[in-house]
Amino acid sequence: MSSDVVRCEPHSGGVAELIIDRPAARNALNRALTDAMAAHLARLAADAAVRVVLLRAEGEHFAAGADVKEMLVLSADEARALDFAGCCAALGDFPKPVVALVQGFALGGGCELVEMCDVVLAAETAVFGHPEVRLGTMPGAGGTQRLPRLVGMAKALDLLLTGRRMDAREAERCGLVSRVVPAGSLIEEGRRVAADMATLPGEVLRTIKRVARSGADVPLAEALRQERAAFHHSLAGAERYEGMRAFLEKRPPRFDAG
């Protein structure tokens, strides 16, 4: 399946690459793009052969945010009717690990996409920011909620209320970015991380993501209860027999797709 603005390239080994491909408009997120992304993600969520998604973008920039040309002509009623900004929920709700590769600008809605991903590799040249306030609007795809959870309220409000940009190193220090890598090796390094993750047991990967994310929204005691239940459940799985046996037999584990 392909579209003009988002391509999906399945790779052997359990990794699917989702590629934002609208570089002439700095990968601005128009409706066609977010619809295509949602359609791809729905298919990838259901595909048992896919364990990990690698999200990246063509061109010099990750994404310059929502498409301002589309937004300008949108009335508040139309935005509500279209569930504008809800269009990115498919990424936020995606059940499998998503590794994002960020080069150049990730602004506004582009930064919100990053905030929804699980492991974020940024090129040294990456720049993050929420300039929405400077356009007379505000984040609508989770920026005011996910960013403070990731980087803390002081840093988040600094970014959201000033619209200033931050570089990759600052983004790494404050917790938006997992790792900073040389720009020239971003794709290679991202593919290596995703491929390695895809050799790990799929059900356990999904459970860790689910429990880590859902636990952040409930009191600690409830989060720990959820973790314990998931941990006990994992002990009943075939994956742990293979992982533990392989360790004791001093051989690499072989986890079946799933």
Q: Which of 108, 132, 168, 171 is catalytic?
A: 132
Of 157, 133, 136, 149, whose CA–CA distance to 213 is shortest?
Answer: 149
User: Smallest gap, in angstroms, from Cβ of residue 214 to ligand CO8?
Assistant: 23
Query: Which CB sits closer to ligand CO8, 131 or 190?
Result: 131
Q: What is the DSSP string of 148-214?
A: HHHH-HHHHHHHHHH--EEEHHHHHHHTS-SEEE-GGGHHHHHHHHHHHHHTS-HHHHHHHHHHHHH
User: Smallest gap, in angstroms, from Cβ of residue 28 to ligand CO8?
Assistant: 3
Query: Which CB sits closer to ligand CO8, 15 or 29?
Result: 29
Does residue 109 carry a catalytic annotation?
Answer: yes
Q: State the maximum Cα–Cα separation within the chain, in Å, rounded to a whole number.
A: 64
Query: Which CB sits closer to ligand CO8, 87 or 174?
Result: 87
Q: Which of 14, 109, 110, 143 is catalytic?
A: 109
Give the 3-state secondary structure of residue 102.
Answer: strand
User: Smallest gap, in angstroms, from Cβ of residue 8 to ligand CO8?
Assistant: 19
Does residue 189 carry a catalytic annotation?
Answer: no
Does residue 13 carry a catalytic annotation?
Answer: no
Residue nearest to ligand CO8 (CB): 108
Q: Which of 112, 140, 171, 239 is catalytic?
A: 112
For residue 9, the surrounding DSSP H or E stretch is strand 6-10
Distance CA 211, CA 205 (A): 10
Kindly give the residue spans of alpha helices, DSSP state H, lying in 1-152.
31-46, 68-72, 76-82, 89-92, 109-116, 143-151
User: Smallest gap, in angstroms, from Cβ of residue 135 to ligand CO8?
Assistant: 5
Query: Which CB sits closer to ligand CO8, 8 or 85?
Result: 85
Which positions touch ligand CO8 (CB under 6 A)? 25-26, 28-29, 34, 61, 64-69, 85, 87-88, 105, 107-109, 131-132, 135, 139-141
Q: Which of 36, 66, 123, 126 is catalytic?
A: 66
User: Smallest gap, in angstroms, from Cβ of residue 129 to ligand CO8?
Assistant: 8
For the four alpha carbons of 156, 161, 163 and 164, in that order, the dihedral sign comes to negative
Q: Which residue numbers are catalytic?
A: 66, 109, 112, 132
